[in-house]
Amino acid sequence: MTEENGSSNYRLTREVAEVRGRLEMIVKEQESDDDTKKEIFARLSTLEKRMAQIVLIGTLLTVTLPVVLSVGVITIETGHNNSQSQ
């Protein structure tokens, strides 16, 4: 009976050690996944900032280019420049 208890305890101890090892591996994988998620969200944040800058530049060009071009065309058509008026 004592021998059965000893082998039973050994088996249980071994299984507990295996479970502990598996649990530690799972915890390390989750920590690695958390680091990966942080890196992904940091990259997304950078991408969002750059996209916002591009949209802002596009909006400004959309507003200013027609004004600049129309003023330039009117100036060219009417011949108003500094060298001719002097």
- Rounded-to-integer distance, Cα 47 and Cα 39, Å: 12
Are residues 80 and 86 in contact, defined by beta-carbon separation less than 8 angstroms?
A: no
The pTM of this model reads 0.52
Q: Both tokens of residue 67?
A: 């004004």
- Rounded-to-integer distance, Cα 73 and Cα 79, Å: 10
In which band, very low, low, confident or very high, does the pLDDT at 3 lie, cut at 50, 70 and 90? low
Query: What are the tens digits of pLDDT across the range 38-86?
Result: 999 999 999 999 999 999 999 999 999 988 888 888 888 887 655 554 4
Sign of CA dihedral 20, 25, 29, 32: positive
Residue 79 falls in which region: left (phi positive, over 0), alpha (psi -120 to 50) or beta: left
Query: What are the tens digits of pLDDT across the range 9-45?
Result: 889 999 999 999 999 999 999 999 999 999 999 999 9
